[in-house]
Structure 1
Amino acid sequence: MGAKTGLLVYAEGEVPGLLRQVGAPDLGRTSEMMRRLYPGCEFEPCEGAQLWDGVYPQQGTAYAASWPGVEVVGDQRVMIDLPSQLPEHLVAASAGRRLVLHAMHSVVDPLAFERPYWAGERPADVIPWPDEDDEPYPLPFHPLELGEEALRALCGFVIEGHPEPDDIDASAVWLHGFRVTQLAAGRAAS
């Protein structure tokens, strides 16, 4: 497994249930969301992506969609070390809604879906490199497998894990693409 995510979801309820109901995202509505979330930036539309592929776009690109009740942004800029480092305006945009930040890491007490991993019930299947000592893996599970399970529990889909029958088909959810450029301070004020 080698999946990476930089994913923000704003939702008026449980994300999986809301994502199961979405259709094609409206470009105007999505562009307005981008202006709110990226003040002082210019946007140029570019090719979009399916949700499963849009959770970690290349630098300078964001994949996004806005539907009634749920908004999704995939952007490397939100893949931060600590959730407390998320810019204040991105947190404020969630007022009255649920905010999910998925960046394949967790620094809090284990959630329900994490317990089998920490209990050693999902051991890491690690194959050592040839001619290297077979040292035990330092965790009782592989962190990326835990990250995939977090993505399923919080958003209803996985990228590289085995899909469950009730998982969202992330290839059926479309995100618009945007090249995002930070404006110079003088240009942003004019």
Structure 2
Amino acid sequence: MGVKVGILAFGDDIPVRLRGGPVADEDRTLEFVRRVHPGYVVEPIEGCALKYATYPPDDVVFASSSAGLDIVCDQRLTLVQPSTLSGHLCRIGDGRRMAVLGMHSVTDWLSYGTWSDGVLVRSLNLTPDSGIIESVGEPLPFEAPYWAGGHPVEDPYPLPFHPLDLGQTALRHLFGFATDGPDHADDRAAGEVDLLGFRVTDPTGAEQAARDAIRQEVLQMVRAATGQPAGRE
């Protein structure tokens, strides 16, 4: 599965509001993105439909702010651990419900969390290699068939289900759409919501330098494993 998702939303009933086709207010959305990334440079660019916006390129954010709903898709959210989500993001919620979900198919990583009035209600974070990294609160109802063995994976597999399968179910229940699997009518309604686009960059250059360092480390590991000579990209 080539699935990567990083999504965060604030709203009293996020799936219902998304399926209702909210229209982003440009000024409001710009201010929302600036609050999500304080101190960063934020510049408007071309937008994208929600279903295709869940894993933007580096330094690109897709977002929408409208009455009763704020939503942002950002690669930076892909590998988030919900319980350590930055406090300023919880404050943006201002008493509303909040949900975050991250998936990454390279490691079969899945994490999601829900909050009510700023209090973490449920957090799950797991990978097949690391097992259950975090499990806070009672499992949500849609999780039950997965923990009960209703979605088995071919043996041997260290979990009773594939994280990305549960991830698509969580995405549908928490946000109202899915990016993979059978297409539901309600999914189409939410997935076709237009998000505005922004280039969001760290003016200090530190974030890009950290990404470059990680990529160089990975490249060196690949070369060592395959016997390729060292050199520049």
Alignment of 1:37-116 (within 5 A): 37-103=36-102, 104-105=110-111, 106=124, 107-108=134-135, 109-116=138-145
- Report SS of the residue matched to 1:43: strand
- Report SS of the residue matched to 1:30: helix
Which residue is equivalent to 1:129?
Answer: none
The 8 Å contact of residues 19 and 168 in structure 1, kept in 2 or not, is answered as no
Higher normalized strand content (fraction of residues): 2
Note the aligned Cα RMSD (angstroms).
1.9
The 8 Å contact of residues 50 and 190 in structure 2, kept in 1 or not, is answered as yes
* Residue 177 in structure 1 maps to residue 176 in structure 2: no
Give 1:47 shift.
1.7
The 8 Å contact of residues 15 and 190 in structure 2, kept in 1 or not, is answered as no
Which residue is equivalent to 1:120?
Answer: 149
Identity %: 43
The 8 Å contact of residues 19 and 186 in structure 2, kept in 1 or not, is answered as no
- TM-score under structure 1 normalisation? 0.84
Higher normalized helix content (fraction of residues): 2
Which residue is equivalent to 1:147?
Answer: 167
Which residue is equivalent to 1:160?
Answer: 180
Give 1:89 shift.
0.8
Structure with greater contact order relative to length (CA < 8 Å, sep ≥ 6): 1
Structure 1: gaps spanning 5 or more residues:
127-134, 186-190
The 8 Å contact of residues 8 and 102 in structure 1, kept in 2 or not, is answered as yes
Structure 1 residues 171 and 111 mapped into 2: Cα distance closer, same or farther (>3 Å)? closer
Give 1:59 shift.
1.4
The 8 Å contact of residues 30 and 66 in structure 1, kept in 2 or not, is answered as yes
Give 1:9 shift.
0.1
- How many residues end up aligned between the 2 structures? 175
Q: Which runs of 4+ in 1 moved over 4 A?
A: none
Give 1:88 shift.
1.2
Which residue is equivalent to 2:18?
Answer: 19
The 8 Å contact of residues 62 and 73 in structure 1, kept in 2 or not, is answered as yes
Post-superposition CA distance 1:29-74 (Å, at most 9, x none): 1111112221101112122111011111111111001110001100
Which residue is equivalent to 1:132?
Answer: none
Give 1:87 shift.
1.2
Residue type matched to 1:4 in 2?
Answer: K
Work out the CA distance in 2 between the residues paired with 1:61 and 1:28.
18
Give 1:166 shift.
3.6
Work out the CA distance in 1 between the residues paired with 2:190 and 2:176.
9
The 8 Å contact of residues 46 and 197 in structure 2, kept in 1 or not, is answered as yes
Between 81-90 and 94-103, the greater mean CA deviation after superposition = 81-90
Residue type matched to 2:54 in 1?
Answer: V
Work out the CA distance in 2 between the residues paired with 1:76 and 1:156.
20
Residue type matched to 2:93 in 1?
Answer: S
- Report SS of the residue matched to 2:43: strand
Residue type matched to 1:60 in 2?
Answer: D
Between 66-75 and 170-179, the greater mean CA deviation after superposition = 170-179
Structure 2: gaps spanning 5 or more residues:
103-109, 112-123, 125-133, 206-233
Work out the CA distance in 1 between the residues paired with 2:75 and 2:85.
12
